[in-house]
Structure 1
Amino acid sequence: MKIIIAGAGDVGFHLAKLLSYEAQDTYVVDFDGEKLEYLNNHLDVITKKGDATSIKLLKEIGVSSADLLLAVTESPNTNFTISVIGKALGVKKTIARISNPEFLNNPCINFKDYGVDFMISPEELAAEEIKSLLNQSSFNDTVAFENGVFNIMGTTLGYKSPILDLTVKETKEKFCLVDFITIAIKREGTSQTIIPRGDTEYKINDQVYFSVPKYSIDKLYPIIGKEYIDIKNVMILGGSRVGRKTARKLCKDNFKVKLIEKDKDKALQLAEDLRNTLVIYGDGRDLELLEEESIREMDAFVAVTGDSETNIMSCLVAKSKGVKKTVALVENMDYINISQTIGIDTLINKKLIAASNIFRHIRKGEIVALANLHNVDAEVFEFEVHPGAKVTQKIIRELRFPREAIIGGVIRNGEALMSFGDFQMQSGDKAIVFCLPEAINIVEDLFK
């Protein structure tokens, strides 16, 4: 598969990184020579310095024979132009990163007619992610498959959890009436993601990911040593595009939302646009202002200004004031893995979310859904099991499934089934698989 990525920024780099684990013919085009040099030194991709809107350049790298053109530069207008030109030159499929909300789901214009097959908005995806996190308040990561039939739930183990120092096997024996599978553990102070086995122990401050059927979610709270938190009152810091979209989505779900914006003109505009949100003109870094606006009565605090450090620090202040749930938007990809260490519930990066969303368009036909977890360098896939697939020929323990992957459950005829070693998949099943990047090809082969 030949793929051209226009833009070597954070979205382009993460896409190139995901693709570099596979036998993809990947080209990356950008003006910035330093970014391209960094890519060349770290990933197995072909780079080309220049303007991706150049017809000559696109012809030189063979856009007419490309399967996919990903326009993910920082400029939405440039991305739109690249897609239109690429389609006219013969690329099979185009995906453009855009920010204008009018372009998404517009019934008046079919953008495919102009050469843009699919559009993604990092801001829209980030707002949706924040809403999802607030709906599962005691967890710092949550992904739903098949409308919640199966769910991936992530949380940090505190001292109240009864599973501390128990092995995975001992925990299953102790809580044998609860259906769940532990699919990943990220240990405090390390970058390594552990795919747990029966003898793996749970430790204090572990970031643990569970695969849980919908009917078992409520039963998971005693296992992690936490109680369900009903979130209603939310304070948002920053009237950015993400802040605006998040406020609108939360109000639609009947949350009570306060939004603080330090730019007077922007605050007035937000007050006009967001009729159900209380918009406050002021500096959210001012502790006195936060106290005046009853921060201690807030259930959640969401910081989405354009400054990562401001977002992190303000969330830490909110935590110190007793706010139960904090979410910070960060631009620096290096910050993503430190939320576990510094005490913020979740750090999100809109570019990482966007890259993972685009990546599912690249996957082969067996994959029907894909999600990225916040604190780990891995993906969660939903595979559809086709007739004759290798996974249907043996029970799971005899499949030679790679140690870098684990099956988190199976959905059969809309019903959640636990996938332990003696389970055998059937054609038509949908399997939830957690997978480290180096094992993606092996796992895909088993589902062929």
Structure 2
Amino acid sequence: MKIVIAGGGDIGVKIAEKLIFENHDVTIIEKDLQLIKILQNKLDAMVIHGDITSIETLLKSNILNADFFLAVSNNDSDNIIACNIVNKSKKDKNISIICKVDSYYKYFNKDYIMPIDFGIDTMIKPLEITVAKIIDLLNNPNIFEIMNYAENSAQLVGVKVKRNFIYKGMPISEIASTDNMFSKVMLVAIQRDGKVIIPKGNDVVYPKDKLYLVGKMETIKTIVKEHFSRPMNLKNIIIVGGTKYAIELAKALSKMNKIVTIIEEDKFKCKKLSFVLDDVLIMNGSATDSHLMDELSIENSCVISISDNDEYNILSAFTAKKYNASKTMCMIKNSSIVTLINNLDPIDTVFSPHALTIAEAIKLTRKSDLFSVSPFNEIDAETIGINITKDSKILGTPIKDIDFPEESIIGVIIRDNNVIIPSGNDSLQLGDKVIIFLLPEAISKVEKMFTSSKFGGWR
């Protein structure tokens, strides 16, 4: 596919890297000359110098021959204007227009003006995506990753192996034969020392490993409760940083009857927060201040660090753990270091608005036989859900006879609302839904196995 990306910042670059890796034809529009030099040296893509709101620049990018236009610059109004120009210019061309807007309600109101009025097909709203992710993780405090499939019949979770895990040091095949519940789920990946392993039966599970399990939702819940949970009362939520994320999160948590406190260093921001937030305690100070931590008594609290400063977020999470916070969650805007920070013990969960935005953009460029695309929060991997159709090249083939890339694994088959943990003798039948875990290098290979379309892939 041909994809034009408006904006060559951190988000635009990461989207381009992933799309290029999947063999798409990518063009980037950027007005910063210094950044353009970096992009030209870094990416196998055409880089156009110019303003994304200029029709001359957009036409120069060959936008009228594109399949997708992604406006992901750091300027909301520029993104909206660029999308509108592309919409007015495309006439009868089939170009999917995707727009990133951080301050959605500043520009749109369902009673007056909506994205469709600008020809925007799909909106990416980083603020909403991030807040939804945080709440999802808060509702499931003993896991660090969660994905639901096929109307919640199947679920994937990420759990951390504790020192007291009764099956530590045991091969996976022995765990499954010893404990019947583990035979009903699939371990699709192990994260160890920053590396992702797609395990085989003789691989061993160690303390501090992060396991990704997929199976029937009820079974997953039972395993998490019996082996990977500890009692946590997360009624008290302490938010570090008075950012736009803090405001929206505090509003949502207050509706959930949580007791919310926001710590903010800037006195002026504190005053503004007190005006816009009811039933939220605003404290002026630093979340790394030992006196403030003593005053707050943060035991049995969840501390969520979401300031605009990555370093401060990391340090405040460390401080919170030192003072016995039940759970620490840390926002990292630099998506490149999420995996690195994720390996630090004092931080229970790491999330990145940029990474979530990038994942959403990539997901929107995938269509056809896919019913789900779910990139992971902490690792460079994803699960895809594929509907098995009559055009699927491996329809009816036993799994053991399929030449699957080593970087991928079938997690579950959903057939007539039944969740099946596949064995080598199982074959894929018409109407099946298949959940596949895969690393980036396997994407194009797996794509060719399952689908056929005019684009030769997921479009």
Fold-level similarity (TM above 0.5): yes
Query: In 2 relative to 1, CA 250–118 (structure 1 residues): closer, same or farther, beyond 3 Å?
Result: same
CA displacement, residues 82-131 of structure 1 (integer Å, 9 cap, x when unaligned): 11111122161211111223156735323212222221121211111111
AA in 2 matched with 1:184? A
- Equivalent in 217, 221, 235 of residue 218 of structure 1: 221
The answer as to whether partners of 2:232 and 2:300 remain within 8 angstroms in 1 is no
- If the length of structure 2 is used for normalisation, what is the TM-score? 0.91
Q: Mark the CA change 1:105 to 1:24 in structure 2 (over 3 Å): closer, same or farther.
A: farther
Q: Does 1:116 align with 2:108?
A: no
Asked if 1 retains the 8 angstrom alpha-carbon contact of 2:198 and 2:409, the reply is: yes
Secondary structure in 2 aligned to 1:47?
Answer: strand
Mapped contact 2:181–2:223 kept (Cα < 8 A) = no
Following the alignment from structure 2 to structure 1, what is the Cα–Cα distance between the partners of residues 387 and 11?
27
Residue 156 of structure 2 aligns with which residue?
152
Cα distance in structure 2, aligned partners of 1:9 and 1:245 = 25
Q: Cα deviations across residues 292-330 of structure 1 (Å, max 9, x unaligned)?
A: 1221241x1100001111100111111111112111111
Structure 2 vs 1, CA of residues 187 and 223 (structure 1 numbering), >3 Å: closer, same or farther?
Answer: farther
Consecutive unaligned residues of structure 2, counting only runs of 5 or more, are 452-459
Per mean C-alpha deviation after superposition, the further-off stretch among 430-439 and 307-316 is 430-439
CA RMSD, 1 decimal:
2.1
Runs of 4+ aligned structure 1 residues displaced above 4 Å come to 222-225
The equivalent residue for 2:455 is: none
Preserved CA contact (<8 Å) 1:27 1:46: yes
| Residues in 1 aligned to 2:49 and 2:298: alpha-carbon distance in whole angstroms | 49
Once residues 326 and 255 of structure 2 are traced to their aligned partners in structure 1, the CA distance between those partners, rounded to angstroms, is 22
Gap change, CA 1:35 and 1:144, over 3 Å in 2: farther
- Alignment correspondent of 2:181: 177
Superposition pairs for residues 256-275 of structure 1, below 5 Å? 256-275=259-278
Instruction: Tell whether 2:133 aligns with 1:133.
Output: no
Contact kept? 1:181, 1:408, Cα under 8 Å: yes
Instruction: Choose from 432, 439, 448 the match for 1:436.
Output: 439
Structure 1 residues 105 and 249, CA gap change in structure 2 (3 angstroms): farther
Give the 3 Å change call, closer, same or farther, for CA 317–241 of structure 1 in structure 2.
Answer: same
Aligned equivalents of 1:135, 1:374: Cα separation in 2: 16
Q: Whole-Å Cα distance in 2 between the matches of residues 197 and 255 of structure 1?
A: 42
Distance in 1 separating the partners of 2:231 and 2:203: 27
Q: Distance in 2 between matches of 1:439 and 1:113?
A: 39
Report the Cα distance in structure 1 between the residues aligned to 2:114 and 2:240, rounded to whole angstroms. Answer: 35
Cα–Cα, structure 1 residues 127 and 351, in superposed 2: closer, same or farther, change >3 Å? same
Residue identity matched to 1:187: R
Q: Which moves more between the two structures, 325-334 or 72-81?
A: 325-334
Equivalent in the alignment of 1:25: 25
Matches within 5 A, 1:224-243: 224-227=227-230, 229-243=232-246
Q: Structure 1: 5+ residue runs without aligned partners? A: none
Asked whether the equivalents of residues 156 and 340 of structure 1 are also in contact (C-alpha less than 8 Å), the reply is no
Per-residue displacement from partner, 1:210-267 (whole Å, max 9, x unpaired)? 1132101332236744435342221111121111121222223332222222333433
Q: Deviation of residue 353 (structure 1)?
A: 0.3
8 Å CA contact 1:207, 1:340 repeated in 2: no
CA distance in 2, matches of 1:142, 1:248: 23
Look up the SS of the partner of 1:382 in the other structure. Answer: strand
Q: Secondary structure at the match of 1:342?
A: coil
Q: Which amino acid aligns with 2:294?
A: E
Structure-2 separation of matches of 1:383 and 1:219: 27
Structure 2 CA distance for aligned equivalents of residues 9 and 219 of structure 1: 43
Q: Does 1:285 align with 2:288?
A: yes
Who is 1:106 aligned against? 110
Query: Which amino acid in structure 1 is aligned with residue 66 of structure 2?
Result: A
Tell me, what secondary structure is at the counterpart of 1:374?
coil
- Partners of 1:155 and 1:209 within 8 A in 2: yes
Report the counterpart of residue 14 of structure 1 in structure 2. Answer: 14
Q: Are 2:422 and 1:422 equivalent residues in the alignment?
A: no
SS at match of 1:177: helix
Pick from 308, 327, 332: which aligns with 2:334? 332
Aligned counterparts, 1:2-401, within 5 A: 2-90=2-90, 92-102=95-105, 103=107, 106-178=110-182, 179-188=184-193, 190=194, 192-221=195-224, 224-227=227-230, 229-298=232-301, 300-343=302-345, 344-401=347-404
Alpha-carbon contact 2:29-2:61 (below 8 Å) kept: no
User: Structure 2: which amino acid aligns with 1:275?
Assistant: D
Q: CA deviation at 1:64?
A: 1.1
Larger mean Cα displacement after TM superposition, 80-89 or 41-50 = 41-50
How far 1:350 moved relative to its partner? 0.4
Q: Distance in 2 between matches of 1:259 and 1:377?
A: 32
1:333, 1:140 → 2: CA distance?
17
Q: Write the distance in 2 (CA, Å) between the matches of 1:232 and 1:337.
A: 28
Say if 1:339 and 1:346, in contact at 8 Å, map to a contact too.
no
C-alpha distance in 2, partners of 1:386/1:12?
A: 34
